[in-house]
Amino acid sequence: MSDSLARPWHASYQQVGIAPALEALPYRNLAEMAHESCKRWQNESQVKAAFSCVVPNGMNGRLSFAQVDELSDAFAGYLRAVLGLKAGDRVAVQLPNSLGYPVAALGVFKAGCVLVNTNPLYTETEMIHQFNNAGAQVLVMVDMFADKLPAVLAKTGIKQVVLASVSSFFPTVPGAIVRGVQRYWNRVLPPVTAPHIRLSEALAQGRATLAKTPAREYWQGIGRHELAVLQYTGGTTGVSKGAMLTHDNLLSNIQQTRAMGQSHMAPGQECVLTALPLYHIFAFTTNLLGFLAIGGHNVLIPSPRPVQNLQRAIENFPITWMTGVNTLFNGLLNEEWFVAYPPKTLKASISGGTALHSAVAKRWRDVTKTPIAEGYGLTETSPVVSFNPLTGEPRDGSIGIPAPGTDVRLVGDDGKDVVAGAPGELWVRGPQVMQAYWNAEEETAKVMHDGWFATGDVAVMDETGFMRIVDRKKDMVLVSGFNVYPNEVEDVISRMDNVLEVAVIGVPDGKTGEAVRAYVVQNPESPTEVMPADVLAHCKQHLAAYKVPRLVVVRDELPKSPIGKVLRKDLRKAVAEEMKQH
């Protein structure tokens, strides 16, 4: 594609006050960004704390900007001077949202090493695959799942395990209470039988080395285009692969996100609720890195399920920003305490990860009196590709316009750009696009085309550059030759008051090739029971006949990923098993 690419979104930038050129952050790497930000905001920030961790009963611990800087320096010293790692070595961090996470992650960057974000809920099999694929030598892990270590260590190249806890860096009394509840009440602290060191001891050992070799010496030579993170894809559509994200990818995406949200951001004054896991690319870039760079206060929730776990944090902290997925926002709207007392200080919310249903968006605005904007991104794009401006009329169903510095095109099955208004696969080019998949040349070749990343998502664009995701190519249902996009059907069904959640898939059908099947969950707050016949009648009112589900199944819950994304692939797998039995 030539640079004659039409960019209708540039005109939309002007209307909402967004500069089309991306201003680069004045840092060579993420370690320098973290150090300089902590140094600046420890004196200038009005929020004082950089990170707070809040457990369901309201007990919490916090770290100042100065503490984050000092502790991450110490961890860098431990990795390089004590363990003898070299620049570019991989360190896996397998922690829930907790104060140990920013210390470890930023310490990895300061050591000049590569961060491998790992889901704490991974099975032993998944851990072994990821650690071996990444070549990780060190594992920073939450102690709640240390019973997996013997099996994992025997089959990987992990040489050192550092254990942290949810209550790491809490004050003495609250920390003891939290650990007591975990150990004796919830029984979630297994005995640790594998060789390990506690995070506190690792920091002490690392701190002792800094007088001889200051941490800054480890990151001085790290350039913007060197590898910073191996971020593994969610595996929702196939085998999990490691996206190679550079310092430049992530620094650029911080600036792109800031440019899109600056109308509602005041540096040094924001407080963001981080319920999404930091090991996921959305919260990692937007919450951890983005708000650190502007001197914001991250309020970390170790586990957002059940959604009541957020109550004390929302009640006790002046939350100004929230990030989440559709299921999180929908869940909060079904909590009496939230609807009765929505956060008074809230400025704006960002939804991503999956489609934000229009009914949820409208009710969120009605309840909180603040904007909620849907964005779009992927692991491979660090993640933000596009964003809805927070000013002007809301555009429900849209993923917004490309972030500054980003080019997009919509490509048909013939490899050519589609005409305006027609659906095509979304391709992305920009400074946030990954280098490649780690050790996977064939997989990289499938998605990278002369600098363009093929997302696998089908989108349409209007004349102003605003886009709408129609669906994933793999999720599209073909009914008698007609394309049915599950997102559209789900959005219609979600408007029913007695439906809490919905998922739509295609199932094999002898007459039409595929048929639409909907799975719905009863809204417990509704006095009306959700009945399949009522769902079908509702769909017939709002959808063409070929889009109406052939079958509606009422379930107690839907399968979800760790961030709350509904897993259609699991529903399709269940259907395949069901058909084998018949």
* pLDDT of 3: 62
Say if residue 267 is preceded by a cis peptide, omega within 30 of 0: no
Angle, helices 326-333/358-368, rounded to nearest 10 degrees: 50
* pLDDT of 507: 93
Residue 560 burial by Cβ neighbours in a 10 Å radius (0-12, 13-18, 19+):
middle
* pLDDT of 582: 66
SS3 171: coil
Mean pLDDT confidence for 236-253: 85
| Neighbouring residues of 206: CB distance < 8 A, sequence distance ≥ 6 | 73, 74, 75, 76, 77, 78, 79, 81, 82
Which tokens is 186 given? 């919830």
pLDDT band at 4 (very low <50, low <70, confident <90, very high): low
Q: What is the pTM of this model?
A: 0.86
Q: 71 and 77 in contact (C-beta within 8 Å)?
A: no
Residue closest to 74 by CA, chosen among 97, 108, 120:
108
Residue closest to 237 by CA, chosen among 445, 472, 435:
472
Mean pLDDT confidence for 378-403: 93
Mean pLDDT confidence for 88-92: 98
pLDDT band at 1 (very low <50, low <70, confident <90, very high): very low
The β-bridge partners of 300 are 53, 274
The β-bridge partners of 114 are 90
Residue 193 burial by Cβ neighbours in a 10 Å radius (0-12, 13-18, 19+):
exposed
| Neighbouring residues of 416: CB distance < 8 A, sequence distance ≥ 6 | none
In CATH terms, the superfamily for domain 27-458 is ANL, N-terminal domain (3.40.50.12780)
DSSP per residue, 326-371: HHHHHHHHT-HHHHHS--TT--EEEE-SSPPPHHHHHHHHHHHSS-
Mean pLDDT confidence for 534-544: 92
Mean pLDDT confidence for 82-107: 98
The β-bridge partners of 438 are none
Mean residue pLDDT across the chain: 92
The one-letter code for the residue type at 170 is: F
pLDDT in tens, 458-469: 999 999 999 998
Nearest-angstrom CA–CA distance, 374 and 372: 7
CA distances from 425 to 211, 268, 412, 508 (A): 54, 39, 6, 24
The one-letter code for the residue type at 455 is: T
Nearest-angstrom CA–CA distance, 154 and 392: 56
In CATH terms, the superfamily for domain 475-580 is ANL, C-terminal domain (3.30.300.30)
Domain residue extents for the chain: 27-458, 475-580
pLDDT band at 480 (very low <50, low <70, confident <90, very high): confident
SS (H, E, C) 247-272: HHHHHHHHHHHHHHHHHHCCCCCCEE
* pLDDT of 239: 61
pLDDT in tens, 157-179: 999 999 999 999 999 988 888 88
Residue closest to 320 by CA, chosen among 278, 251, 364, 269:
269
pLDDT in tens, 112-124: 999 999 989 888 8
Count CA atoms closer than 13 A to 220's CA, side-chain side. 6
Nearest-angstrom CA–CA distance, 432 and 405: 9
Nearest-angstrom CA–CA distance, 431 and 408: 12
* pLDDT of 234: 60
Residue closest to 165 by CA, chosen among 149, 147, 150, 146:
146
The helix, strand and coil proportions of the chain, stated in percent and rounded to the nearest 5, come to: 35, 25, 40
* pLDDT of 237: 44
DSSP per residue, 446-462: HHEETTEEEEEEEEEE-
In the predicted model, is pLDDT for residue 444 greater than 70? yes
* pLDDT of 53: 98
The β-bridge partners of 53 are 61, 300
pLDDT in tens, 140-159: 999 999 999 999 999 999 99
Count CB atoms within 10 A of the CB of residue 464: 12
Mean pLDDT confidence for 52-65: 96
Residue closest to 28 by CA, chosen among 185, 248, 241:
248
Q: 97 and 300 in contact (C-beta within 8 Å)?
A: yes
In the predicted model, is pLDDT for residue 2 greater than 50? no
Nearest-angstrom CA–CA distance, 179 and 164: 12
* pLDDT of 278: 97
pLDDT band at 38 (very low <50, low <70, confident <90, very high): very high
pLDDT band at 242 (very low <50, low <70, confident <90, very high): very high
- Highest averaged pLDDT of the listed ranges 7-16, 204-213, 513-522: 204-213
